[in-house]
Structure 1
């Protein structure tokens, strides 16, 4: 699925660059003046025939009613119906759970959280990679009505602080450390009161909401509650706590990049997320004897979380190959566990296809490969099918649509499967709209993708204006993406109204990096753009104008950014001698800059 991003100053579609005007006037201008977007009716075509054209609106009929279950109730049902079947295997952590064991661990964890003082309405921030306790904490929170909020484990201090300010958590869960990331050490630097506080009694001047830091560690760390203590449970009345949680309560908060450069906190409810998972499960017709999902996606990403939740609704087994991204671990786990499905970004599949050791592993068990997170080209889909001998299934969605809103079906014809992002999910409406009026444009003509249904998010926490900007009074979600719909209800995404760079599925807003680069004493101004990359789709490039007499090298600027932005936002390319084209009012023209940078870099 092509995950939506925030609005921008620049759009690149079909090899064309467009300077951003206002959000509405720009789309309207493209639709009514660009012949390559909107073809004029022939002179012989009468107005009556023009009005009879089918409009770009489709609502998929649902044969299965939506349900009102919470995630906690789904966990209980799975344990009752498939208790002895293996649900999850974390390969690197050497830990597996049957559905029955998973419920037992989740229930103990939930009681431990109650004993630690958390209750319905509180928020717990998960700041960790793909470890088993990530999933247990998330599931335990869902039973209590505690809202989980997850962030990228590579977040820098400013990015982490933005998340804290948005969700105001009462508790934080971290591992002690992972590879080069010292979670506890960083937290002690960022929240200095932690190291001297009593467990569960943190009193931070900057973040007064935070009371408890839960840490996974073999050591006793000052100021923290150990996860082992939480996992022991307690005597709290879990049944009473669960009874207070309903399907319309918030389930989780997932951060998505925003137009200001700071991540927005998108709130998802049980009803939208659970039904989204259930419908996706129903669409993926089971053809395997023993369905087994390979999920290398990060759990803090909505696509990874959906893939991790599907087993609870389907009794599929899910394999997490490694704590971090590890291509060898993915291939070996597919072979060892005979995975029948893999979910991942296009970049992940390209990495496996191009890996020099791929031939050493037997991945012939794969039946489906489901791609999402960034644009999936026809070339990539064909490569996946030819390499793995399976069907490639692509969809479209975003955090704000609880992950998926349209999806290719396994029985869709190749001409649809290789080009489109499928039809809407059952019970979901989608249309291609004139953004000025909200009225659907004729089929095969271009406009903005709008979505409405059970899966639309609640809004951005603390940002009412931004929520109103994307959700209309009639509850249509305005994606900001440009697309088309054919007369059979299949959608295609042709571009985006974003200044965002999508690097291997990671959303990067240039402002995040530009602000930090501009603070360097040698930098007069910086302009961060996306340039083409065969593997990642886009790579980050910084055009730097140095102050008179100043010097700076790419290595120096990368080192300067290291602790200021997440590693994946650090530019691969630095150009110091590229002219910066500007308008008459001094506004940098990133469309021309991208073309010049692409040419200079030989991409």
Structure 2
């Protein structure tokens, strides 16, 4: 395989007349047309002064040109930095100040806000009338590719920053390409596939997992601006794959049209970015005949593990380490590997592991061992045959009266109660025990379950020190854009 993203994902399609992107308005872009559009955008970036290693900040709508812009950044040797479209100017000030971009690409409506920063501002919008798109229309569709090596940076992605400042994870061509190759092979993605893409593209899942594997395999992509239940239902009979977050699957299960006949052509449903409840896994199989394939990864490592394509996809586990990726469960303090069956820190080493944190050598040294192992901050357990299960985040570990309490163990018990949709267990300060256990619980519509009933269910199943001191009934749990529950928000809300 070639060493850079452009050489592997884009250049091979120069004469490929197959459809690549099928957009919401019915328009299609062939692979060859995409390669030409990438070159046009790359020429605009070069005209804006972009050179190898320069950062390009992108906070723009999800359009075909936004994907082509990613390719153009790679072709010019730049470092692509996508940002959540919900970030405010205050949040942007940190990301832009820290990364020092040469160019900022934004929605046209945000032009004035972005001009406050020291960078060239270009615009992209849903109508194709932004300054970047218009300049590209007039540019040559041939562009010399900047030579880059496998260890050169291709992207900079900032972590969600639930504790402290967000950190910019430096991702090389090798990091991204090795992961795309592993997943394409493992999930048997080919040019006969048609992927329903309804994820955001400012995140590892939507950009690198979904788009890089599609480009590597030459698959078709039904490119949706956002998740729309009716649109996904309409596309399922024509498609073979869906990559989503758990919310996609719970919403689809709420639709009576979702059945085996609708999914007859589908061969793979993938879930990630947040834990998939075992009940969702089971209910989806009962309705459609498909076992959702759950996998595990993070910004710094891309994907780490996956349930098998052929073989048992067990609810509540994230499967086995990807080929070429080493996963150890260790004592978080000493780094010593733990035997199977014991809970510890998940550490990972391989070509997928990032190069360190931008402008943060101290944080890099704290989390990236000299052996090459990265300390994920996730707590997990490995079975005797190597299958990994996530127990929770190290920062979500509750220590009460000297006992370690793992929230997921309690959540699993609560979630087993008929009428409970989901729960989130978290710790708050306690003057005697250090921390006290609380549980936020979401009930099904119409369910009438008192906190006392939940407590009575939990009591015989868990040791006394694990029992939540209070059950808080809520309509929803706070989540980030990828569907992860934000326990830090719950801790802040109930810390008093």
TM-score normalised to structure 2 length:
0.78
Match of 1:297 in 2: 199
Query: Which of the numbers 431, 441, 462 marks the counterpart of 1:583?
Result: 431
Q: Give the conservation status (yes or no) of the 8 Å contact 1:128–1:173.
A: yes
Change (3 A) 1:172 1:602: closer
Query: Which of the numbers 119, 142, 160 marks the counterpart of 2:51?
Result: 119
Query: Which of the numbers 106, 129, 143 marks the counterpart of 1:238?
Result: 143
Query: Which of the numbers 204, 211, 217 marks the counterpart of 2:120?
Result: 211
TM-fit CA distance, 1:130 = 1.6
Q: Does 1:255 align with 2:158?
A: yes
Match of 2:263 in 1: 363
Bigger relative contact order, structure 1 or 2 (CA pairs below 8 A, ≥6 apart): 1
Q: Give the conservation status (yes or no) of the 8 Å contact 2:382–2:388.
A: yes
Q: Does 1:352 align with 2:255?
A: no
Q: Does 1:84 align with 2:17?
A: yes
TM-fit CA distance, 1:356 = 5.3
Larger radius of gyration: 1
TM-fit CA distance, 1:444 = 1.3
Change (3 A) 1:173 1:602: closer
| 1:7-29 CA-partner distances (Å, limit 9, x unpaired) | xxxxxxxxxxxxxxxxxxxxxxx
- What CA distance in whole angstroms lies between the structure 1 residues aligned with 2:262 and 2:236? 8
Change (3 A) 1:94 1:118: farther
TM-fit CA distance, 1:264 = 2.1
Match of 1:406 in 2: 305
Q: Does 1:284 align with 2:190?
A: no
Over aligned residues, Cα RMSD in angstroms? Answer: 3.1
Q: Give the conservation status (yes or no) of the 8 Å contact 1:294–1:343.
A: yes
Match of 2:324 in 1: 427
- What CA distance in whole angstroms lies between the structure 2 residues aligned with 1:355 and 1:454? 41
Aligned residues: 429
| 1:187-237 CA-partner distances (Å, limit 9, x unpaired) | 42x35xx3xxxxxxxxx5xx33x12333437698xxx844211343249x8
Q: Give the conservation status (yes or no) of the 8 Å contact 2:194–2:241.
A: yes
- What CA distance in whole angstroms lies between the structure 2 residues aligned with 1:217 and 1:280? 31
TM-fit CA distance, 1:333 = 2.3
Query: Which of the numbers 369, 377, 393 marks the counterpart of 1:472?
Result: 369
Q: Give the conservation status (yes or no) of the 8 Å contact 2:270–2:293.
A: yes
**SS of aligned partner of 1:297:** coil
Query: Which of the numbers 325, 339, 347 marks the counterpart of 2:227?
Result: 325
Match of 1:227 in 2: 133
**SS of aligned partner of 1:351:** helix
- What CA distance in whole angstroms lies between the structure 2 residues aligned with 1:102 and 1:537? 44
Match of 2:68 in 1: 136
Change (3 A) 1:357 1:536: farther
TM-fit CA distance, 1:152 = 0.9
Unaligned runs of 5+ in 1: 1-66, 177-182, 195-203, 501-530, 544-579
